Amino acid sequence: MKTIDELLADGVSGKRVFVRADLNVPLADGTITDDGRIRAVLPTVRALADAGAKVVVASHLGRPKGAPDPAFSLAPAASRLGELLGAAVAFATDTVGRSAQDTVAGLTDGQFAVLENLRFNAGETAKDDAERGAFAEQLAALADVYVGDGFGAVHRRHASVYDLPARLPHYAGYLIATEVGVLKKLTDDVKRPYVVALGGAKVSDKLAVIDQLLGKADRLLIGGGMAYTFLKAKGYEVGISLLQEDQVPAVTEYLERAEKQGVELVLPVDVVVSREFPDLKAKAPTEHSVVDADKIPADQEGLDIGPKTRELYASKLADAATVFWNGPMGVFEHPDYAEGTKAVAQALLDTDGFTVVGGGDSAAAVRTLGFDENAFGHISTGGGASLEYLEGKTLPGLAALED
Ligand SMILES: Nc1ncnc2c1ncn2[C@@H]1O[C@H](COP(=O)(O)OP(=O)(O)O)[C@@H](O)[C@H]1O
Ligand SMILES: O=C(OP(=O)(O)O)[C@H](O)COP(=O)(O)O
């Protein structure tokens, strides 16, 4: 993989450099609640601008449906990038249209632009190679060189991640180089006990990785929205909790296999339940209670792990030599459901082992709940990406940067 250092050594002055970043930051009412992913790309974009490049930054945000949707605009991220850089950042109100073309054409050497959300174009995420390729062609017309630095999205076979680098000279940015360097340690020579904690809401994406992790980790702790598919597989009722019904048979098989292979697959023994999902903006106190994991009422949903589970998970993390954690244990954005995530974050800090936290929301949780991010071994900007890397999968966005 050629890195940005080689690009800088060859000289990049006057060239239009397309930086595929992951600026998929959490937003509340249009305000960024954690800017970690924007800060993570600063070394790359600064180095390029200092070398005289015209820096065109592009990213997705959220999961809009292939058409413009103001709720998913990258404008707030563009303005935060400008504040962090202390420089003007031009914003194109489309991705490959007139605004993007004019904005890029208007850049002088060392200046920055951000394009509107790549996922406003259906071609970005299209399954069809030709459709993605056609969008990649339009993106390629905006640049001379490609720098891949959106680690959080390298597991996606999307136009800007996979098809575009094939059309331009391509290099890995500093963030991707750093992330891969750290995660490699967890695949090459992992110190044991190796404990993986999984939670979050992208359940269908992440259940599949458990298949591989069963062969790698010594212990798997399951929390967050992921836990309810497991509890259902054990035969418990889960009320109106997040549930991936179609994956119950696969999860039943994971439970059996874990037992056979001597992998500890640990599930919540109690959960915090409520009749409704909390208002994450107002954060007003909610009605909630703690119930055993096999007693979730039919009209309620599990929104956090309970106090007995917090203690159990802390004990399962205490002697870990390596920990990988992706996915909040509960709806941490609301104080009534943040205790499980806090307990797991604290347990990571209490171990002597090497700790990696991965994922946009997990990293945001650690910071917004007041933990010192430097106290963890590594905070990865990618959740799904790091999980798939640890599985040993070939990631499209990394493969595209090789050669
Ligand atoms: N029990 C739950 N029910 C619904 N959502 C949950 C639950 N537990 C956690 N979440 C949500 O999961 C989201 C993060 O999930 P995900 O995107 O998979 O994590 P990451 O970005 O760290 O990879 C958070 O917004 C959190 O509110
Ligand atoms: O937030 C992200 O992934 P993560 O939640 O697994 O960390 C990335 O920006 C990828 O987003 P996607 O899962 O909508 O493709």
* Residues 62-112 pLDDT 10s: 999 999 999 999 999 999 999 999 999 999 999 999 999 999 999 999 999
DSSP one-letter code for 393: P
Q: What is the pLDDT at residue 81?
A: 98
Pocket test for ligand 2, best of 23, 24, 33, 386 (most atoms within 8 A of CB): 24
Weakest-pLDDT range from 40-49, 80-89, 139-148, 383-392? 383-392
Q: Relative to the CA of 384, which ligand 2 atom is closest?
A: 6
Q: What is the pLDDT at residue 403?
A: 74
Nearest CA to ligand 2 atom 10: 153
Look up the pTM and report it: 0.94
Q: Which residues are annotated as a binding site?
A: 22-24, 37, 60-63, 119, 156, 206, 302, 333, 359-362
The b-or-e profile of 220-244 (16+ CB within 10 A means b, else e) is bbbbbbbbbbbbbbeebebbbbbbb
What is the number of residues in the chain?
Answer: 403
| Backbone phi and psi for residue 290, each to the nearest 5 degrees, phi listed first | -105, 130
- Torsion sign across C-alpha atoms 336, 359, 163, 79: positive
Structure token digits, residue 299: 């009209």
Q: Over the stretch 22-31, which tens digit does the pLDDT of each residue have?
A: 999 999 888 9
CA angle (275 as vertex; 273, 281 as ends), nearest 5: 90
Q: What is the pLDDT at residue 391?
A: 87
Pick the ligand that lies closest to the CA of residue 384: 2
Q: Which residues are annotated as a binding site for substrate?
A: 22-24, 37, 60-63, 119, 156
The span from the CA of 351 to the CA of 260, in Å, is: 28
Q: What is the pLDDT at residue 101?
A: 98
Predicted confidence band at 189 (pLDDT cuts at 50, 70, 90)?
confident
Q: Do 361 and 328 touch, CB atoms closer than 8 A?
A: yes
The span from the CA of 182 to the CA of 253, in Å, is: 31
By annotation, the residues acting in catalysis are 37, 202, 360, 384
Collapsing DSSP to helix, strand or coil, 162 comes out as helix
> What ipTM was assigned to the predicted interfaces of this complex?
0.97
Pocket of ligand 2 (CB under 6 A): 22, 24, 63, 152-153, 156, 202, 359-361, 382-384
User: How far, in Å, is the centroid of ligand 2 from the Cα of 295?
Assistant: 32
**Measured between alpha carbons, how far apart are the two ends of the chain, in Å?**
6
The span from the CA of 109 to the CA of 205, in Å, is: 41
Q: What is the CA radius of gyration of the chain?
A: 22
The span from the CA of 204 to the CA of 315, in Å, is: 28
